[in-house]
A = this chain, B = another copy of it.
């Protein structure tokens, strides 16, 4: 783990030495928000949007930031430049702070703790593109309502991921309480059907992913080959699509070739999916 750099409230540590108080509310109660992005050639991808979204997540859980946007940006850049990797993953965690006593009351909390993780990104495994990945469906219990904050309460997604592994799948598509597919456990979900690209709308309870946003922007500016529609999609829409893929900031676009053990389309990564990946990489680089 020594290739991690961890910035805790401005101090940079190596991975194994980075520690936080057991009274941190992120540790005690999952009372924190986070963002994950990456660098391309030392430059953080859409960092302003990520920091903005971090503040939106904070607002959704009534967490009042004691760091400014500028302070967070400056600490992110400091951490990136302290490392040697040109392509690095960047995780930003903001917790409500360290409690002076056990208890839920936010008034027990001191100022926020800001933790930034950076680490060199390894290229995606070649088989993701050659073969695609497999997914299952996982029924959520938390009622969906609008775009989700990214918080330290991640247990439902861990259960979904664990269930996927138990079934020898790569990951799970989450299904909301209304029966709509929302996203992967750490990715956004997409299908192609009859030459049209679809993704679920934020209102179904979807993380407002930055790669998702980039694809929406590319579609608006007609930089992608397909028309794009945001629309509620159920399990059958996914089962019966021509192509399927997931997106995330660190993994870009990953083809999905099996859902619940059955082939998506031909069972090989889709031609249009691979073309979108090419166009996406040109767009962000």
Contacts and interface: CB of A to CB of B under 8 A. Distances in A.
Number of chain copies forming the complex: 2
B29 A27 contact: no
Given A6-B22, A107-B165, A165-B105, A29 B115 contact: no
Interface in A131-184: 141-143, 145, 151-155, 157-159, 161-162, 165, 177
A20 interface: yes
Nearest to A158: B104
A104 B185 contact: yes
A196 interface: no
A216 interface: no
A21 B17 CA distance: 7
A15 interface: yes
A151 B154 CA distance: 11
Contacts of A198: none
Nearest to A152: B30
A117 interface: yes
Nearest to A89: B102
Contacts of A117: 22, 102
Contacts of A106: 158, 161-162
A253 to B, nearest CB: 19
Contacts of A28: 93, 152, 154
A105 B171 CA distance: 10
A239 interface: no
Contact of A162 (B62, B159, B165): B62
A95 to B, nearest CB: 8
A230 B53 CA distance: 44
Contacts of A153: 29-30, 153-155
A161 B108 CA distance: 12
B6 A161 contact: no
21 contacts: A19-B19, A20-B22, A20-B27, A24-B27, A29-B152, A29-B153, A31-B154, A31-B155, A62-B162, A89-B102, A91-B102, A102-B117, A104-B154, A104-B158, A104-B185, A106-B161, A107-B165, A141-B142, A143-B143, A153-B154, A153-B155
Given A31-B154, A104-B185, 11 more contacts: A28-B154, A29-B152, A31-B158, A91-B102, A101-B119, A102-B117, A104-B161, A105-B161, A142-B143, A143-B143, A153-B155
